[in-house]
Amino acid sequence: MKQNKLILNWLVNILKRNSFFLLYLLLLSSCDEGTRTTNQKTSYSNWYTASFENDSIPGIGLTKAYTLLKKSTDPVIVAVIDTPVDLNHPVFSNRLYINHDEIPGNNLDDDNNGYVDDINGWNFVGYDKNKSVYFTSYEIVRLIRHLENQDELDSLQLKKLIEAHQLQRETAQKRLTKSNNDLKAFYNAKKVFPHAIRSNGTIDTVASKEINPKDEEETKLKKFLTRYGRIGLYEKQLIQFKIGGEGEISKSLNLQYDDRSIAKGHAIINDIENMSQHATQVGGLIAEATNGVNFNRPDIIDIKLMFLSVSGVGDYHNNDLAAAIRYAVDNGASVINFSDSKPYSVGEEKVTQAIKYAAKNNVLMVTSAGNNNLNTDDNKWYPLDYRDDFNEFLDNLLVVGASTNKIDKLKGSFSNYGQQTVDIFAPGSKITIPNGEVDVPYIRLGGTSLASALTSASAAIIISQYPDLKAGEIKELLLQSSTNIEEDTFKSYSKSGKVLDVYKVLEKLKNRHTKH
């Protein structure tokens, strides 16, 4: 009970920061460096592929890592537990996990695994035949319901939660008001300066700079175009922010809303309604980092992606996450990427047991540290692998913070951190990734979700070369053999004090096996 009260106290403090409840599942553009959009990818030149030793850029040494790779014999499956995904994006061509024991579309559970027609994965938030629940309740809503249903009601705790919930609603309303104003300004600018808006809804920054405003209103519109063009916001994105804000208030923060009443699950993981790009961005980054074509080593490794949908705007359900982890393990995944987190967890033991199940079956799980610039040593962030004394009870869960390409500002300003609770950092700033929009197929973003994705990709590459390694060994190798940046403050941000470097791990393994 005492622990719960402490958690409630800091939960209220987090809400007062107005930074926790980010609509990052709509897009990660809440990160400080903003976004960039592009219609096509002309070359593969993301900074995270660089090597610190060779290029003085704190990347993960991916380009060098590919020089060490040998042709792998078996595919490595990475399960991406996330939102629904755009399966039609070119980045996923020939990269999807396929359940060959299932016959597509016959409405039967051919392989008797408990899931009907699960060809590429499963949608745990699916309903009807092909829809998805995009607005799930926040954990604070579930906690209020949980306390209200207790035989012995703790009125003080409930009062604090209700106050925090109200503050969150007010913050959400402010965001929605801003979204409405931004969208209105965009349409005004589109009407007054049509030449500054491209056909795909992106802002032409060159044309915007050349605008000569005639009055105060046009001056405001030019400033709007200049600012939003610089950070890369586009029309459909602004519409999504508006829809997301409306749904956050009417559903995710609604004490009477019950997403469980409709979410029964189905095999359609494709984002048919195009409501969220998060899984496309995260899975797309894993696909690109593990595509040998991008590094002049085509077909050197075979990494397949299994998509499992559990998330929306709001918080994921622990039952869904636990079931997704077990599904991934039972269906052959070697790595699980879960780029999501939350500050409180009702029924966390189900998730813990599922991660333990993954550990028993030698499956590594990678998760993001969170985008709130919080010290998670002081503020618990779930899922986690430690008790109150910070002693780890899981060796297969890897928590990743986001780093930048600037040595003097290495920690992403948005990234959570913790010397006892975050394992390692990986690039998660200003990264060009696939986007779930036909008109804007690539976008530049930042966030710990991307850092997690690069770590999962690195783990999959390592497994492709050394399939007999245990999950705990891979975690330890990544923590011990990555890049050590001689900067005292950064060292205190994680257990390892390092930035991921897959080349160094592969080099160490190569030397180890050469000696034997």
The pLDDT confidence band at residue 515, using thresholds 50, 70 and 90, is low
Q: Which CATH number fits domain 31-135+262-515: 3.30.390.50, 3.40.50.10280, 3.40.50.2300, 3.40.50.200?
A: 3.40.50.200
pLDDT at residue 31 in the model: 36
pLDDT at 262 over 80: yes
Label residue 66 exposed, middle or buried (CB < 10 Å: 0-12, 13-18, 19+).
buried
Residue 241 contacts residue 56 (beta carbons within 8 Å): no
Query: Any idea which of 210-224, 259-273, 328-342 has the lowest mean pLDDT?
Result: 259-273
**Residue count of the chain:** 516
Report the Cα–Cα distance between both ends of the chain, in Å, rounded. Answer: 54
b/e map of 404-414 (b: 16 or more CB within 10 Å)?
bbeeeebbbeb
- Selecting among 345, 449, 458, 481, the annotated active-site residue is 449
pTM for this one?
0.90
Q: Respond yes or no: is residue 278 known to be catalytic.
A: yes
Enter the tokens of residue 129: 């035949």
**Share of residues in the chain with pLDDT > 90 (%):** 72
Give backbone dihedrals phi and psi of 172, rounded to 5 degrees, phi first. -65, -40
pLDDT at 290 over 70: yes
Closest C-alpha to 58, from 464, 424, 394: 424
pLDDT at 3 over 50: no
Q: Respond yes or no: is residue 276 known to be catalytic.
A: no
pLDDT at residue 22 in the model: 43
pLDDT at residue 516 in the model: 58
- CA-based angle 217:219:223, to the nearest 5? 120
Mean pLDDT of 409-436: 94
Query: Any idea which of 54-63, 129-138, 316-325, 465-474 has the lowest mean pLDDT?
Result: 129-138
Mean pLDDT of 63-80: 96
pLDDT at residue 46 in the model: 87
Closest C-alpha to 241, from 172, 192, 190: 172
b/e map of 459-476 (b: 16 or more CB within 10 Å)?
bbbbbbbbeebebebbbe
pLDDT at residue 32 in the model: 37
pLDDT at residue 37 in the model: 53
Residue 448 contacts residue 412 (beta carbons within 8 Å): yes
Q: Which one has a higher pLDDT value, 116 or 130? A: 116
User: Following DSSP, what letter does each residue of 373-434 receive, concatenated?
Assistant: --BTTTS--BS--B-TT--BS-SSEEEEEEE-S-GGG-B-TT--B-TTT--EEEE-SSEEEE
H/E segment holding residue 68: helix 62-68
User: Following DSSP, what letter does each residue of 127-148 receive, concatenated?
Assistant: ETTTEE--B---HHHHHHHHHH
Q: How many CB atoms lie within 10 A of CB 319?
A: 15
Average pLDDT, the chain: 89
pLDDT at 288 over 50: yes
**Share of residues in the chain with pLDDT > 70 (%):** 91
Q: Where in the chain is the domain with CATH 3.40.50.200?
A: 31-135+262-515
- CA-based angle 111:115:121, to the nearest 5? 100
- pLDDT, tens digit, 9 for 90 and up, residues 220-247: 999 999 998 887 889 988 998 999 999 9
Measured on CA atoms in the order 25, 443, 501, 283, is the torsion positive or negative? positive
Closest C-alpha to 65, from 282, 285, 294, 287: 294
Residues 6 or more apart whose CB falls under 8 angstroms from that of 291 comprise 95
Give backbone dihedrals phi and psi of 288, rounded to 5 degrees, phi first. -70, -40
The pLDDT confidence band at residue 303, using thresholds 50, 70 and 90, is very high
- Selecting among 89, 165, 266, 278, the annotated active-site residue is 278
pLDDT at residue 233 in the model: 83
- Give the single-character DSSP code of 91: G
Residues 6 or more apart whose CB falls under 8 angstroms from that of 173 comprise 249
- CA-based angle 480:484:487, to the nearest 5? 140
pLDDT at residue 21 in the model: 35
Give backbone dihedrals phi and psi of 279, rounded to 5 degrees, phi first. -65, -35
The pLDDT confidence band at residue 180, using thresholds 50, 70 and 90, is very high
Q: How far is residue 309's CA from residue 118's CA, in Å, rounded to a whole number?
A: 12
- Selecting among 30, 82, 208, 464, the annotated active-site residue is 82
Ranked by mean pLDDT, the top range of 406-410, 453-457, 479-483 is 453-457
Residue 341 contacts residue 368 (beta carbons within 8 Å): yes
pLDDT at 165 over 80: yes
Q: How far is residue 19's CA from residue 27's CA, in Å, rounded to a whole number?
A: 15
pLDDT at 309 over 60: yes
pLDDT at residue 442 in the model: 87
b/e map of 223-234 (b: 16 or more CB within 10 Å)?
ebbeebbebbbb
